[in-house]
Every structure is written in C-alpha cells, then in structure tokens.
Structure 1
Amino acid sequence: MDALMIVLVVTLLSQAGGRLSGFAERLAERTGRAMPVLAGVMLAQGILAVVAIRIGIMLGPQVTPETRTLLLAVALTLVGIGMMGRLPRPGSPFGSVHLGVFGIATLGAGWILLMESGPVLIAIAAARSPLPWAAWPGAMLGLAGALLPAILLGTREWRRLAWRAIRVFGGAALILSGIIVGLSVKGLI
C-alpha cells in the first residue's frame, strides 16, 4: 500500500497546475470535448505506469532495500525540483488537430509524461513495495484528481488559481520529504 499512497500523493501534487494539466485544459477548451481529452491522457498515464511498474519489478530484487529508499529520496527531490519550474504558457502547444482529440491527448500526454520524472517515481515506488501493482491505481487516481479540476473549470477559471504558490509550496514539500527520507536511510535523522 505504500506504493499506492506515495504515487497517488506525488502525482496529485506534481500534476496539479503542471504542464499536463495545462495541456489537457487547453485541448478541452479548444475542442469543446472534455471526455476524449481525459480518456486520452488517462490512457497514456496507464500505459506508462504499467511500463514503469514492470521496470520496478525487474529492478527491485537487484538492489538493496537501502538503495531503493535512497532512490525514492532522489525521485521525490527531482519531482519537487521539477515543480519549481515555469507554469505552462496560456497559448496552444500544438497546431491543427489532425489525429482527433483522443489521439492528440494520448500522444501529447505521453510525451509530457515521458519528459517528467513521474514514471521514474512509479518505478521506484513499485521496486520497493511488496505490492508493486498498487502503484498503478495511485498513478491513475492522482492524475485524475489533478486533471478533472483543470478540465472542468476551463481556462479562465483554472488560470485564476494561485498555481505559482501552490506549485512552489508543493515542490518545497517534496524536496524536504526527499531530503528527510535520504537522511533517515543513512541514519542521520
């Protein structure tokens, strides 16, 4: 269950107001079709989470428990650092829609997710858990919790929220968590 909670909380924090949420809300606003956007993004997350969990299952037995926990600390810190970056720009990140809304949502979300450290965190959480597949529902629920408000609120209302402060606070919390986990493994805390 630790994999489920770690992945759920970190995914929810890191994706709220991030590049993927901005991409999904802009695509839904532009096309007026929220359900295909949500389905495409969730499909991309589901596929990448399955691949990350399989990698975690393969790597888990090959490293010591201390190393797995140190890798978790590094992944938490990297996700927190990534949250400190710029917010997504309000303009459209893509040209005309030739692949359909579902296709654009799936490919765009897959590309954005691959560029972030979320799949790495999922793999590490799966590697250190006795129930590695529990990371999958955590990844899906965390992303759904971050995307639904972005898609349902629309561009104007979504942009009014204090995303900069939310992401800086969330990133600082993840960086601090990573440091605490890393120091506790080494017995320094």
Structure 2
Amino acid sequence: MRRILTVILCFASLTLLLSSCSSSRKLSGYVPFTRDLKQKLEKENIDLKQVQFYVDQKLILNRNLGDQKVVVSSGVVKLENGKYINEVIIPSLTPGLCDNVDGDRLMINFEKGNNDLAFGPGSGYSYNQYVLYGTEWKNGTALVTYDSNKYRARCGDCSDVASATLVIKKSVLDKMERKSRTLKGRTVGK
C-alpha cells in the first residue's frame, strides 16, 4: 500500500513539474517589455511602432449586448441566460502592434480597426513590466475599451487580468544588444 502511494505521489509530482515546464518553455523565447527596455529603445531612436509585441496570457473580453440589435464586428456572439454576449478572445502570444504612444502608455492593436488595448507600467510587483490597463477592477477582471465599446476583460489562463503583460521575442532583444565593434587601437608614430 505504501509503495502504491509513493508511486502515485511521484507521478503527480512529475505531472505537475512537466506542466509547469511546458508553460515556461512556451515563453522561454520571450522577455517582458519593461520601462527600462522602453527607455533603451527610445535612447537608440527605435520607433516602438516597428517593434513586434505579444501578450503573454490569453485574454477574454466580454460585452453584454442585452436586447440590442446584434451586429458584431469582431469576436463571437453567445446567447447566455437569455442575453447576447459579444466575446473577443486574444490567445496567448498573439502578435500586436503599437499604434500610439502616450507617455508611458502603449496602445497595442491585435487586429485592424479601432481595437487598441492600453498597456503601461504596473504597480507593486509588476512596477517595471507593461501590463494591461483597465478601470473598475473587480475579482481579477477589469473594464477596458475595445472597438469603441466597454468590455469586461479577464485572463483565460490566470486568476487576475492584471498579470497579463506585454512581451517581445528574445531574439529581437539580442539583435539590438549586439551592436558592437572591435577597436584595433592606436600606436605612436602611425
């Protein structure tokens, strides 16, 4: 009996370890976009509109359409408890472009149109990282403006949408940091 329990515990531990490794492996080629990185890019005169951004978490945006005429420009319309719900899903590592920079705030667009989501420096533990901005925070969700409408944003794979951060590919960062040259030096008389 003890041996069976030990085998079950080992199997459960191995499963947990492998699942945590697979999610970290998925993001291993990416680094968080931070205040420091933004300043570095600005110092090098790199236009943030030319940088490919990604969101590290699955985002789900919901909007209650109520009894309105149902016309959806993006996302999915669901009937939930007799009400129409417009749902927009942004999968993890969806590429996005910066449409506008307003101080520290970046307006990231994941599809064409008036569909920007605001990201900026967080607070507390995420002070340096660029996280999703919203209002009326409630139970790990926030109100965001998307496609000129108010949506309730939640995280698909985490408990709090405030942990959704912008990331860039590590190879892009490596290429930017490899700007170097080797000097041969100078000698007297030559």
TM range (shorter): under 0.3
More strand by share: 2
- Larger helix share, 1 or 2: 1
Query: TM-score by structure 1 length?
Result: 0.24
- Bigger RCO (CA 8 Å, 6+ sep): 1
